[in-house]
Structures are given as C-alpha cells and as structure tokens.
Structure 1
Amino acid sequence: MPAISVIMPMYKAKKTAMYSIDALLNQTFKDIEVLVVDDCSPDDSYVVVKEHYKDEPRVVLIRQDINQGPAEARNRAFEEAKGEYVTFLDSDDGIIKEGLEKMYEAAKKFDADVVHTTGCFFPVHKPDVMDIMSVPKENYLPQDKDKDIPGEATLLTQDFGVRLSNWLNGTYNGNVWGKMIKKSFIMDNNIRFASIKMSEDVLFSFECLMRAGKYVILPYKCIIYRMIGESLSRGRKDVSYMLKLLEATFSGNDKFTEKMNEIPYFKDNPEDKEKVLKYVNDVMDMIYLVPAFQSVGEDKLLCDDRTSELFIEHFGNQAQFALRCFFMKNAKEPPAPSYLIDDITYEGLNAQLEMYKQSLK
C-alpha cells in the first residue's frame, strides 16, 4: 500500500499532464501512486498518457464514462486510492521536488487528519511553456494568502469557533492543492466534492477545516500553479457567462447550507451559518458578479428569458423581488440568497422594496 495517493483530474490536457505527472514521479518521496482520472476527454489525452506510462506502475489511469467535471473525477479517485494520505495536483500544475516529503513528515509527526501548506507560486504568465517545472524560480510570484502563519508546522486549535473566525478573515486559503488529507478521515466523515460550477474546492477545504480534529499548518509553499486558459472564473463577459455566475452563486449557497447542516459545530452554532454565506457571497460579488454585471449591462440581462427562469428556479414566488433587487442595487450586492428571505412573505418583500425605492429618492 503506498503512503500517498496523488489525485489528478485530466481533461484535454495531453500537452501539460505528463510534465505534471513527471514532477510527482521525480519527488524525493517515492512511496506514492498517481491516480490520473481522465474526465472523458474528447481528444487522445487518455491514450497518450496511458502509452507514455505503460511501464510505470505508480501511475494509475482511470477513465470516466461521461464528462462530469473535476469534482466527480476526484470523488471517483477517492474510491480507488490505496494510500494512507491523499493529496491533489491539477494536470497543468507543478510541485516543488521536496513537496510531498515535507507534507508527509508533518502528517506523521502529528498523526494529522489534514496538512495545510501555505499557498503556492505563480510563474510569470507564459502560455507557450508547457513544462511548468522549467520556469526559473526567480520568475515565481508568491501567493498572497495564509496570513499570520507560524514559522514551523503547528497543530491548529480545536476551537472551531476560532477556526471559523480565522477563515472568515481570509487566514487560510481554500485550495485543495497543497493539502494532504488522511484518507480514513475523508471516508469516515463522508467528505466529498460537491458537483457545483465554482468553488467546489473551497467548500471541500472548508468542510475539512471544520471537521478535522488534528489540522496542521505547514509554512511551506510547494505548489506551482499555472494560470492559463478559460474557465468559469476567468471566462468571457457576456450574458451567458453572467447567468453561469448567478447559477454558480445560487447552487453554491445551497451546497454550503447543506454541508453546514451536517457539521456538528453549526448544529450547535446555527447563527454562524449566515456569516459563512455572507462571506462566500461577498467574495463572489467582489471578484466575479460586479465586474461581469458592469460589462454585460442590465438591458442585455433582462432581455434573456433564462434570467427570469433562473431566479424562479431558485427563489420560487420570491423571484420577482430578488430579481428587482438585483438590478436596483446595480449588482453592488448579489441578490439576497434564499436563506435570508425564506421566512418573509412575498407581500412583505415588496413592502421592503418600496421602502428601499423611497430611500433612493
């Protein structure tokens, strides 16, 4: 049984995946397996990688029958992983040569459920460079996250209220790469990636933070993260993109609520759920919704039938109010999520809207 299972979703990544796999095989820590989950790539990525590593027993290829996204690819790998610990690397990223060794040493020292490394490096943007490990270190840009981290591996407090407060202050990054997690902890707590359009890694990391008994902070930057290509978070600014952002926000709220309802801390402290959802919405608003809305404009969004359909699907008979608020506030805030208005009547909402309109005069 390997000590570490590294999970790598792959989709149309034949130009970069082998460099990422090689970075893992060249680690100073050798007792690993690399689970490459091809998410039904339409090109020959699976065939190319399979042929290249046919004589490397540490590389295990898994192929999804249908394309389901990185969340389900990672969930599939959980079922196949044989390692005591699991960690993650995307198929276009790199990892410092001693990265796995450093994380595993900290995990064994504390018998940790989770080891959380402090961020990553961003190489200077060079889309033509497929081998991310070839970028000279002087071109790395450190990730500006994980504030106030101690100078050595430290066991985090088991006071979940303090953990939550630090998370809300942005102290801990929400990425899954750069974290090593005991597989038995994942399976025993039934922690899985949610099939949502954005921030599935943030939700997964958040659940680990709020469940783990032994959570270790390791002040070490080991991941080399590539920022290229289009994704929902870096897509074009049109109506379709805006609607995808709204749908991602709504479904993200629902999944965060669902998960918090299962976590013991929030059963005892239900008032803190609202703080979490407000923080998540504020981040989505600041980074994605406001810039997209300002680019798309109100008229184009209103003219698309899918806009009203989306609000009706999520808010039901409160959809009209939520939609009107969204436009009246000019996307300075996303529409009030359902958890804030479920207990208010539709008539009451319209009365509040009228008061809001009067306040604008």
Structure 2
Amino acid sequence: MPKISIILPIYNVELYLKECLDSLINQTLKDIEIICIDDKSTDNSLFILKEYASYDNRIIILEQEINQDPGVARNRGIDIAKGDYIMFCDPDNWYELDACEICYDKISKGDNDIAFFSLNRYLDDTGEFKYRIVTTNDFISKTPNSFWCGKNVFINFKIINKNNIEFPNYIIHEDHDFGLTLLMHTNNICRAETRLYYYRLRTGSIMNRGGKNTINNVPKILKKYLPIFKDDINQILNFYNAISCFIPHFY
C-alpha cells in the first residue's frame, strides 16, 4: 500500500483544528503522513499540533519564522513530502474518514494522475450544509470554477515532481492557480462518485476577507494562462469570466 502525504497549512485556527486533525489521524487508510506547517500562529494552534504529534508520530510539524500565507506553507510541505500520492487540507475543514482509501482505490484503477471528488459546504454561522456535485466536465474545463476548492483532489505525486509544480505566493486563489497548472500537464483524470470533503464557510477566514487581494490576483492569473489559449477568443472570454466572477464575493 502506498504512502499518502496530507499537507496542512495552519494559521490561527484553534477553534477548528482538532476536528480537522481527528478526521486525518482516523483515516481508514493508515499509511499516511500529515505535514502541518504552522504559519506563525498567534493563538493556541501550535500547542494543539504538538499535543497531537506527541501521540501520533505520523504528524510532522514545520514552523514558519514569519507569516507567509498558505501558498508558501504548502510548498514547504511539498518539499519534504515522502508520499506516492498527495492531498491538501485546510485546517478549518475536514475529510470523511474513508477519503484516502476511496481516492486511492479510484486512482489506482488505471493510469491516472488525479482523482477528484465533490464536497460539502458547511455554513459555520448557521450549521447548514450546502452540497455541491462536481462533474467531470466541470473539472476538466480548465477554468478556476472547475477547481474551486483545491482540496477536493487526490494527486499522484509524480506529476508534481516531474513538472516542478508549486503554489504561487497569493493570499487567496493560490489553489486555483495550482489546479490549473496541474490540469495543463495531464488528461489522466478520474472521479470518485462521492462527497469526501467538508469546506467550512466562516466569517473571518482568508476567503471572506480577500478584498483588494482578489482584484490584484486576477491580472496575475490572466497573464500566466491566457497565452495557453492563443487565439481562441471563446476560451479567453470564458477564462476571464471565470476569474472575474470571484471579485463580488469579497465586497
């Protein structure tokens, strides 16, 4: 059975971290490493990490000397990961307990680089769940909408190593950029027919306070990916609309 690396960037999430870690250490597939990068938290997040690591040696803790945001933290995790496959989780979210097992079973049945799955959106203020089904056509459309949550993927680590893929240093949408790069390097994608990830929508999260940073990231992503579409005006327009649609969420 291969090893799975799960990378977790952490910053001031003491209220949610235990729920996240419990969902990882109790995965039905046991051969995993949980790489936790504390991005200079000022609350009790690091204390909680060390508490969990004291009784589960699969938890690896890296400490940032200064706060550098999630993209940089995830790249540190990628640099030391030893798994055959890799997943990304945010510390205020959580996985179904059989997520790793289901994804490995799916991706191993064929020459696949990525297995993706749908997610449950959890509204922290009300306790409601909003279900989102991601179809294969959604996923392979090569727009940020198709890769809305960069954590709903199970990736063969060789595609990252072979193509030197890493997260950009954006405060938000770094997972969209990362996902687009992955999709540009493979067509070997399969889908797990279930929802395996719980995506918490909460007041005060990075996604809900993106503001000006969201606008600043749009031209960066456009400049990077528009040349790929060359003179296909429909692809260019679809891509621009997909990027731009994020802006209203932050005002």
TM-score range, shorter chain: 0.7 to 0.9
Structure holding more strand per residue = 2
1:140 paired residue number: 129
TM-score for both structures, normalised by structure 1:
0.62
1: CA distance between counterparts of 2:157 and 2:144? 28
Offset from partner CA, 1:25-81 (integer Å, 9 cap, x none): 111111111111100112332133213321311111111111100111101100011
2: CA distance between counterparts of 1:86 and 1:253? 29
1:92 corresponds to 2:92: yes
Counterpart residue type for residue 123 of structure 1? Y
2: CA distance between counterparts of 1:78 and 1:232? 21
1: CA distance between counterparts of 2:82 and 2:2? 6
> The residue matched to 1:110 in structure 2 has which SS?
coil
> Cα–Cα, structure 1 residues 227 and 248, in superposed 2: closer, same or farther, change >3 Å?
closer
2:157 paired residue number: 183
> Cα–Cα, structure 1 residues 122 and 25, in superposed 2: closer, same or farther, change >3 Å?
same
Aligned residues of 1:168 and 1:279 also touching (Cα < 8 A): no
1:278 corresponds to 2:230: no
2:183 paired residue number: 209
Q: Which segment is superposed worse, 59-68 or 225-234? A: 225-234
1:56 paired residue number: 56
Unmatched 5+ stretches in structure 1: 128-134, 151-155, 157-162, 236-240, 293-361
How big is the shift at 1:2? 5.5
Q: How many residues align?
A: 249
How big is the shift at 1:259? 4.8
Structure with the greater alpha carbon radius of gyration: 1
1:255 corresponds to 2:217: no
Unmatched 5+ stretches in structure 2: none
Counterpart residue type for residue 81 of structure 1? A
1: CA distance between counterparts of 2:125 and 2:248? 27
Q: Which segment is superposed worse, 108-117 or 74-83? A: 108-117
How big is the shift at 1:286? 4.4
How big is the shift at 1:280? 3.5
> Cα–Cα, structure 1 residues 19 and 254, in superposed 2: closer, same or farther, change >3 Å?
same
How big is the shift at 1:141? 2.7
Aligned residues of 2:112 and 2:189 also touching (Cα < 8 A): yes
> Cα–Cα, structure 1 residues 82 and 70, in superposed 2: closer, same or farther, change >3 Å?
same
Offset from partner CA, 1:148-185 (integer Å, 9 cap, x none): 779xxxxx9xxxxxx4xx34595x34211120111121
1:196 corresponds to 2:170: yes
> Cα–Cα, structure 1 residues 219 and 14, in superposed 2: closer, same or farther, change >3 Å?
same
1: CA distance between counterparts of 2:180 and 2:144? 13
Q: Which protein has greater RCO, CA pairs closer than 8 Å, 6+ apart?
A: 2
> The residue matched to 2:201 in structure 1 has which SS?
coil
Aligned residues of 2:95 and 2:198 also touching (Cα < 8 A): yes
1: CA distance between counterparts of 2:74 and 2:32? 17
1: CA distance between counterparts of 2:205 and 2:61? 24
Alignment of 1:8-47 (within 5 A): 8-47=8-47
Alignment of 1:1-361 (within 5 A): 3-118=3-118, 120-126=119-125, 140-143=129-132, 145-147=133-135, 163=140, 166-168=141-143, 170=145, 172-235=146-209, 244-245=211-212, 247-259=213-225, 261=227, 266=228, 269-272=229-232, 274-275=236-237, 277-288=239-250, 292=251
2: CA distance between counterparts of 1:18 and 1:95? 12
> Cα–Cα, structure 1 residues 12 and 258, in superposed 2: closer, same or farther, change >3 Å?
same
How big is the shift at 1:205? 1.1
> Cα–Cα, structure 1 residues 169 and 249, in superposed 2: closer, same or farther, change >3 Å?
closer
> Cα–Cα, structure 1 residues 16 and 41, in superposed 2: closer, same or farther, change >3 Å?
same
2: CA distance between counterparts of 1:113 and 1:57? 28
How big is the shift at 1:282? 3.2
